[in-house]
Amino acid sequence: MNFSGIPEENAFGRLLRSPLKLISDRAVMPILQGRLRGRRWVAGAGPHGCWLGSYEFKKRCLIEKIVTEGTVFYDIGANAGFFSLLASVLVGANGRVFAFEPLPRNVSYIEANLRLNQATNTTIITAAVAEQSGVASFTEDDLHSLGHLTPNGEIQVKMVTLDELIATGEMPPPDYMKVDVEGAEALVFMGGKTMLAAYRPALFIDTHGRDVHHQSLQLLESLGYQFQFIDDKSREESSQVFAWFKE
C-alpha cells in the first residue's frame, strides 16, 4: 500500500501520520513492504515511508521489477541509503552497489542501515558526482539531509566524474544507475558521457527544475536513450524518468 501517497492535507492523512510522531529517530524499524520487507531501518534516517515501504512507491516498484542479480548498481545521490539497501538485495551476493553521497549526516545513516542489514556488497563513495573532478562548495538544507552544489556553500565536498572513475578502473561500469542530486542531474550525465555511450546502463532519474530536466533528456537522447515517465506525467511535466538505451 502506498501510505506516502495519502495527502497530509486531509483528515485521514493527518490521522494516519499522528502516531508516527511518537517514534524516536533512533528507533530501528522493520521495513513492511516490498523486496526489503523484514529488513531494518533507522527511523530518523529519512521519511517514515522508508520503513513503511511506500517511499517513492512507483520508482521503488519499477526498480524491483527491472534490477537483476549479479549486476552493478550506482546510487548517485544516495541520501540515507534506501535505494542502496534495496539494490543490495536485488543484485545479490554476486552483485555490487556503489552509493555516492557527499553529506556526512547521510553517510553515517547509510553506514548504519547497511550495517543493520549486513549489506556487505555495497561501497560508499563520499563524494558528489558532477561534470568535473575536484572540490566544490555545497549547501545543506535546514534538516541537513539534502543539499546542492553552489558557489557559496558552507561546506566543501569532493567531486568525481563517472568517466574518470571508469577510465581509471576504480570501479566496474554500472548496469543500472539511480540519479537524484537536487538539480545537478545534467552535470552527472555530462561527466559520464563516454561511460553512458559505451556501457548503456539503465537509468532511474529524478530531475529538479525544468531546465535541468530538458538538458538531461536532450543529452541522453543524443546518446540513444528512450524514456518512460514514472510519475505518469507528460515529458514536459514529469520529474521522474526511466531511461534505457534504444537498440
Return d(Cα 78, Cα 123) in angstroms, integer.
Answer: 11
Return d(Cα 52, Cα 1) in angstroms, integer.
Answer: 9
Name the fold adopted by 58-245. Rossmann fold (3.40.50)
Return d(Cα 150, Cα 13) in angstroms, integer.
Answer: 35
Return d(Cα 200, Cα 203) in angstroms, integer.
Answer: 9
Burial state string for 171-210 with b = 16 or more CB within 10 A and e = fewer than 16: eebbbbbbbbbbebbbbbbbbbbebbeebbbbbbbbbeee
What 8-state DSSP symbol labels residue 173? P
Cβ neighbors of 169 (< 8 A, separation 6 or more) are none
Domain ranges of the chain: 58-245
Contact between residue 125 and residue 100 where contact means Cβ atoms under 8 Å apart: yes
Angle at 106 between CA 112 and CA 203, to 5 degrees: 105
247 residues of the chain, pLDDT tens digit each: 555 555 555 554 454 556 667 788 889 999 999 999 999 999 999 998 999 989 999 999 999 999 999 999 999 999 999 999 999 999 999 999 999 999 988 999 999 999 999 999 999 999 999 999 998 777 766 554 455 566 666 678 899 999 999 999 999 999 999 999 988 899 999 999 999 999 999 999 999 999 999 999 999 999 999 999 999 999 999 999 999 997 7
Contact between residue 25 and residue 77 where contact means Cβ atoms under 8 Å apart: no
CA dihedral in degrees (39, 42, 48, 49; nearest 10)?
A: -40
